[in-house]
Amino acid sequence: MPETPFLEVQGVIAGYGGGDVLKGVDLTVGEGAITCIVGPNGSGKSTLLKTLSGLVRPRAGEIRFRGVNLVGKSPREILRLGIVQIPQNHSLFREMTVEQNVELGAFLERDRRVIAERLERIRGLFPLVAERAGEKAGSLSGGQQRLVEFARCLMLDPKVVVLDEPSMGLDPKTLRRMFATVRAMNEAGRTIILVEQNARQGLKLSDQGVVLENGRVRLTGSGTEVLHNPEIGALYLGGSLEEAATGGDHG
């Protein structure tokens, strides 16, 4: 008997009322893994993430999380099960302070002591949250806001963190810091699913790579396998793959 997969997407068809965007997506994600989804603009990456968090309801197929079918559950129910998504566009309340934004993340938790403990842990992981606690979130740079969004999502103590293009608009230094934070969240036991335009770095970081094309999974494999696949390299990554594979691993 095979074990129940941690997260399993089977035959998912979904769209926005017009034609189907996802045309039968199959995908398995292991507990504790980092999965990176790449693919051209419009291939359905964000739509796939939205089906995971319940923002888009598939018209066919199943999404099972620890054996429980998520299809038909509300975003709030899915959040309660421990799947938290950080959207592609910035989502902080600009007029509220950094700390207020982070505290909002714990809206499903009632126990003040638990909230205080989590906030303390998060301040350790993100010094920015402590240093800029009283400032308006809107006054932070794009990269700093991204980190506050990470901090906020950790207030829910999620099992799965879903990130849609976390690197968007970040300078190289902030980008490295962001990826290091993703790795740290993963090492703290969270399963990570991310969409990345920055395919090289995203795949290098990941246990599993997934190429989505025109609403279907075109290829899956280890992050390195996908990175080395010549066809995929030419289509989505551009430039020299050897360079991508060997050059500056932790730089």
Q: Which positions lie near ligand ATP, rule CB under 6 A?
A: 16, 21, 39, 41-47
Between β-strands 68-69 and 60-65, what pairing exists: parallel, antiparallel or unpaired?
antiparallel
Q: Of Mg ion, ligand ATP, none, which one sits near residue 93, judging by CB under 5 to 8 A according to partner kind? A: none
Provide the minimum distance between the beta carbon of 132 and ligand ATP in the complex, in angstroms, as a whole number.
29
Provide the minimum distance between the beta carbon of 242 and ligand ATP in the complex, in angstroms, as a whole number.
26
Q: Are 54 and 74 in contact (CB under 8 A)?
A: yes
Which tokens belong to 97?
A: 């302070």
Provide the minimum distance between the beta carbon of 67 and ligand ATP in the complex, in angstroms, as a whole number.
27
Provide the minimum distance between the beta carbon of 27 and ligand ATP in the complex, in angstroms, as a whole number.
14
Residues forming contacts to Mg ion in the complex (CB under 5 A) are: 45-46
Nearer to ligand ATP, 105 or 215 (CB): 215
Q: Of Mg ion, ligand ATP, none, which one sits near residue 143, judging by CB under 5 to 8 A according to partner kind? A: none
In DSSP terms, which residues pair with 115 in a beta bridge?
none
Q: Of Mg ion, ligand ATP, none, which one sits near residue 47, judging by CB under 5 to 8 A according to partner kind? A: ligand ATP
Which tokens belong to 50?
A: 């939205």
Provide the minimum distance between the beta carbon of 22 and ligand ATP in the complex, in angstroms, as a whole number.
8
Q: Of Mg ion, ligand ATP, none, which one sits near residue 16, judging by CB under 5 to 8 A according to partner kind? A: ligand ATP
Nearer to ligand ATP, 44 or 233 (CB): 44
Nearer to Mg ion, 37 or 106 (CB): 37
Closest C-alpha to 63, from 45, 46, 48: 48
Three-state secondary structure readout of 106-129: CCCCCCHHHHHHHHHHHHHHCHHH
Nearer to Mg ion, 48 or 232 (CB): 48
Q: Are 101 and 137 in contact (CB under 8 A)?
A: yes
Nearer to ligand ATP, 43 or 198 (CB): 43
CA 94 from chain centre, in angstroms, equals: 22
In DSSP terms, which residues pair with 193 in a beta bridge?
35, 162
Q: Are 167 and 180 in contact (CB under 8 A)?
A: no
Strands (E) located in 167-244: 191-195, 208-213, 216-222
* Phi/psi of residue 245, nearest 5 degrees: -75, -35
Q: Of ligand ATP, Mg ion, none, which one sits near residue 10, judging by CB under 5 to 8 A according to partner kind? A: none
Q: Of Mg ion, ligand ATP, none, which one sits near residue 181, judging by CB under 5 to 8 A according to partner kind? A: none
Provide the minimum distance between the beta carbon of 51 and ligand ATP in the complex, in angstroms, as a whole number.
10
Which tokens belong to 217?
A: 């999974």
Nearer to ligand ATP, 43 or 85 (CB): 43
